[in-house]
Chains A and B, each alone.
Chain A
């Protein structure tokens, strides 16, 4: 563009370059989104633990971004043996089969033991007390029926972009699941 030209151009060079760059950027952004959207499912995804891969390492209790972990122990009652000597409830070689703290595995007394009928007891998790440490899950899985297992509770989970526990999970058990089927429960069949 000749600066001595009698008629200054209606669009300056910088303006022209800027407009061109904007058009290119819009096209680029559109392409990027198109490509990414083709890999989107339109579903929402949430984090969940595959109980079959969980190795009960205890990281769930300590690595959640929430002060109280969103991972809790849940109970598949249909799998439970309702044992009097529950290896998820009692320490190994307990002094007595009662609810005394010295006999219990759970550090926060989050498991309630209620008598059903001789010789069966029902074990219920109080999620407000459970910290997701998996001590009971270890005992139940190793010596019992494996009816206690860890799950991300979605009434508590804030669904982080990247779950902090998933990056330290010793069993690589964390995975994304569709939000309409947000649990991976243990079942009898």
Chain B
């Protein structure tokens, strides 16, 4: 600039300076009133900037998570201690729940990962990534140790459980589809950058924060009241991360067993599970006629699954424009197109009106952005619909598979590893030295009601 001044006429330099100053004032707000020169020597106070939570504390959260997962696995498989899991639940509830306000949590982290995979411009926080992968990794080996005593949502519901009622199997299995649907919806809306619905509709975070939207505070209280009689309603019938954990736990290396060594078929644990995860031994091999019917039904259901998938995809495509409206930019663009010709509003403007004014200043940019988001939804919603169809199909298939189960066992996927059933097993009580070894044969004799099941001698 100074080099230029040396050979340009002075008035042009002055003009340039004026333009530059003008631009500067445009960019940083107009200085309509010049800041004063104080004669009293008044010092300007500095604008305070309280720091954000230190990054080191994020690593502390991750360390606590790993430690809690490890302790939970140890309590489930080595100590087989319900009491220990209760104390771990209390700790998790206090630390991850009431101290960390339930955020960041594994349930919500699904959305961070989904958005990171869909949008290269989004950098997923390291804590969110850790909270997503660690519980799933543990589930692949140790089942749902995360649900057992690490997740504050699960701990809260587990601790309020008072008199568990048995949910009828048809309802249990039917509602069991919901977490997968919720998971699909959460991924769809997160990946399109529309909303983190799993966080928005989280029923327990408002309780951890002691305040929030009336709707969600109410939902949280209702779920907790319900949770006194229905074990862990959110975990079983809503939690999207539970859906992922369930899949991982199904193929887990270790599984929760009621008995520490062998099963005497005493049936004392039959009604021990408040979460409907206890499975009876399979009733032998069906008759040939029944077997043929079962096989035919299975064949039809396997064939039905792709049909359901396609039907879901079709429905999804149909609802694509409606789903796109969840994104605020699409909503704004639609409102802008509707009111394009109406005169600008005056007077006190509502937030919506102010957003519309913003839209009017850069309409082209807004419409392009909205079109881009709609394109994402046009393939996202068919995928989501197809996912629902697939889940329903696979659920039907899994319900009609024949299980070779010889003992009373918790379902691999549904079991929260809460360790309640352990104390119902006489073998466990013998192991702990609470009962003499002779008690087992007595318990087995007492349970020798008309044998409804064919029981091979306790395997494994």
Contact (Cβ within 8 A) A77 B38: no
Interface string of A140-158 (1 = CB under 8 A from B): 0101111000000111011
Which B residues, 221 to 269, have Cβ-Cβ distances below 8 Å to chain A?
A: 247-248, 250-253
Please measure, in the bound complex, the distance between the C-alpha atom of A122 and the C-alpha atom of B247, giving whole angstroms.
Answer: 62
Contact size class for A? Answer: 35 or more
Selected interface stretch from B113-121, B177-185, B272-280, B315-323: B113-121
Is B123 touching A41 in the complex (CB atoms < 8 A)? yes
Shortest distance between the CB of A102 and any CB in chain B (Å):
19
Q: Is A7 an interface residue (CB 8 A)?
A: no
Q: Does B28 contact A (CB under 8 A)?
A: yes
A33 to B200, CA, bound (A): 24
Cα–Cα distance between A176 and B200 once the two chains are bound (Å): 18
The segment from B5-13, B29-37, B167-175, B379-387 found at the interface with A is B29-37
With an 8 A cutoff between CB atoms, is B290 at the interface? no
Interface size bucket, B side? 35 or more
Residues 60-83 of chain A, each 1 if its beta carbon lies under 8 Å from chain B, else 0:
000001110000001111111111
B438 within 8 Å of A (CB atoms): no
Does B53 reach chain A (CB closer than 8 Å)? yes
B42 touches A170 (CB 8 A): no
On whether the beta carbons of A66 and B127 are closer than 8 Å, the reply is no
Whether A42 is near chain B, meaning CB under 8 Å from some CB there, is: yes
Shortest distance from the beta carbon of B95 to any chain A beta carbon, whole Å: 15
Given contacts A29-B140, A67-B211, A80-B35, contact A171 B358 (CB under 8 A): yes
A59 to B122 alpha-carbon distance, docked (Å): 25
For the complex, is B45 an interface residue (Cβ under 8 Å from A)?
A: yes
* Cβ < 8 Å to B, chain A residues 18-52: 18-19, 21-22, 25-26, 29, 32-33, 35-37, 39-46, 52
A residues 131-173 near B (Cβ < 8 Å) are 141, 143-146, 153-155, 157-162, 164, 167-168, 170-172
B196 contact from A26, A43, A58, A161, Cβ within 8 A: A161
Across the interface, do A29 and B195 meet the contact criterion of CB distance under 8 Å?
no
Return chain B residues, CB-CB under 8 Å to A81.
31-36
Q: Which residues of B contact A164 (CB under 8 A)?
A: 200
A-B CB pair tally, cutoff 8 Å: 192
Q: Which residues of the partner chain B approach A162 to less than 8 Å between Cβ atoms?
A: 111, 195-196, 199-200
Q: List the A side residues contacting B55 at CB < 8 Å.
A: 43-44, 179-180
Known: A77-B44, A159-B103, A161-B103. A29 touches B136 (CB 8 A): yes
In the assembled complex, which residues on chain A have CB atoms less than 8 Å from the CB atom of B48?
74
Q: What's the nearest-Cβ distance from chain B to residue A87, in Å?
A: 10
A82 near B123 with CB under 8 A, answer no
Mark each residue of chain B from 125 to 149: 1 if its CB lies under 8 Å from any CB of chain A, else 0.
1111100110011001100000000
Partner of A39, one of B32, B111, B120: B120
B94 within 8 A of A: no
Question: How far, in Å, is B384 (CB) from chain A's closest CB?
Answer: 19
B50 A154 Cβ-Cβ under 8 A: yes
Is the CB–CB distance between A32 and B117 below 8 Å? yes
B202-227 residues at the A interface, CB under 8 angstroms: 206, 209, 211-213
Across the interface, do B358 and A170 meet the contact criterion of CB distance under 8 Å? Answer: yes
Residue B450, interface by CB 8 Å: no
Query: Which A residues are in CB contact (< 8 Å) with B248?
Result: 25
| Stretch of B64-72, B297-305, B348-356, B418-426 contacting A (4+ beta carbons < 8 Å) | B348-356
B312 within 8 A of A: no
Verify if A186 is at the interface (C-beta below 8 Å from B): yes
- Residue on B with the closest CB to A82? B36
The answer on a CB contact under 8 Å between B358 and A39 is no
Bound CA span A164–B111, Å: 15
Q: How far is the CA of A38 from the CA of B47 in the complex (A)?
A: 36
Smallest CB gap from A40: residue in B: B124
Interface pairs (27), CB distance under 8 Å: A19-B251, A22-B253, A25-B251, A32-B113, A33-B129, A33-B133, A39-B116, A39-B120, A39-B124, A55-B357, A56-B354, A57-B350, A67-B211, A74-B48, A77-B45, A81-B31, A81-B35, A82-B35, A143-B32, A145-B30, A145-B31, A145-B32, A158-B209, A160-B103, A162-B199, A182-B52, A189-B28
A interface residues (Cβ-Cβ under 8 A, vs B): 18-19, 21-22, 25-26, 29, 32-33, 35-37, 39-46, 52, 55-59, 65-67, 74-83, 116-117, 120, 122, 124, 141, 143-146, 153-155, 157-162, 164, 167-168, 170-172, 179-180, 182-183, 185-189
Q: A161-B108, A162-B196 are in contact. List 17 more A-B contacts (CB 8 A).
A: A19-B251, A32-B133, A39-B116, A39-B120, A40-B126, A43-B55, A44-B127, A65-B212, A82-B36, A120-B42, A144-B32, A161-B109, A162-B200, A164-B200, A167-B195, A171-B358, A179-B52
Chain A to chain B: the 4 pairs with minimum beta-carbon distance, closest first: A81-B33, A146-B29, A155-B50, A57-B351
